[in-house]
A = this chain, B = another copy of it.
């Protein structure tokens, strides 16, 4: 089921079977993408939107000196470039991190569907505002937390999001980011990320290896990262107080 993970585990997800069907019927292609492939470039006009079915993707911006800043990470169920539907063009690049499977929907079709079904339109709008809420949390993370806490925070976030779509096994989940990537999401160098990860490992909080993260002490990690999942708008049953 293509829309299986869309808004899964979110509060107010009232996506009816009918609406899910409307979305499915809007899909014009399902494709497999290799790791490290760019699918949208900043400034380019976007004519379709991409729903991530499997794998990890990211959105990023480049500084003049070529340094990269990630502005979002995406997990299955996310529309990675739905912002391009109302905006028409994107201000950033979108790329895969791991190999991915995606479904695409033409914008014309989304226009029809949203004009016809205002409630579905509101759900799509809602999903883009979840991105915005995560953006805000990232501003907070980078602006106010130190390196150790930033890393703790993004790991908690990813764990919570994957848990919501049933892709965790206790504290273990796929995490295909390199330490370089992690640095680019946290505003740090890969060298410093490496040292901080060593500390988290030594303190018995998390281990990263083989593109897999294992959280050994979630409460401690959440405390350290000042992580409160309210901004993810999850169902109460998925939240940890």
Number of copies: 2
The digit string for A62-94, where 1 denotes a CB below 8 A from any CB of B, is 011001010110000000000100111001100
In the complex, what residue of chain B is closest to A186 when comparing beta carbons? B143
Across-interface contacts of A132 in B (CB, < 8 A)? 83, 128-129, 131-132, 135
Complex contact B87–A140 (CB within 8 A) = no
Q: How far is the CA of A120 from the CA of B72 in the complex (A)?
A: 28
A121-B121, A139-B139, A140-B71 as given contacts; A133 in contact with B91, CB under 8 Å: yes
In the complex, what residue of chain B is closest to A232 when comparing beta carbons? B91
Across-interface contacts of A125 in B (CB, < 8 A)? 86, 121, 125, 128
Which residues of A pack against B, CB within 8 Å? Answer: 12, 42-43, 59, 61, 63-64, 67, 69, 71-72, 83, 86-88, 91-92, 114-115, 118, 121-122, 125-126, 128-129, 131-133, 135-140, 142-145, 186-187, 226, 230-231, 233
Q: Could you list 25 examples of A-B contacts with CB < 8 Å? A: A59-B136, A61-B136, A63-B140, A63-B226, A69-B140, A69-B143, A69-B144, A83-B129, A83-B132, A86-B129, A87-B233, A91-B137, A91-B230, A91-B231, A115-B118, A121-B125, A125-B125, A128-B128, A132-B135, A135-B139, A138-B139, A139-B142, A142-B142, A142-B187, A143-B187
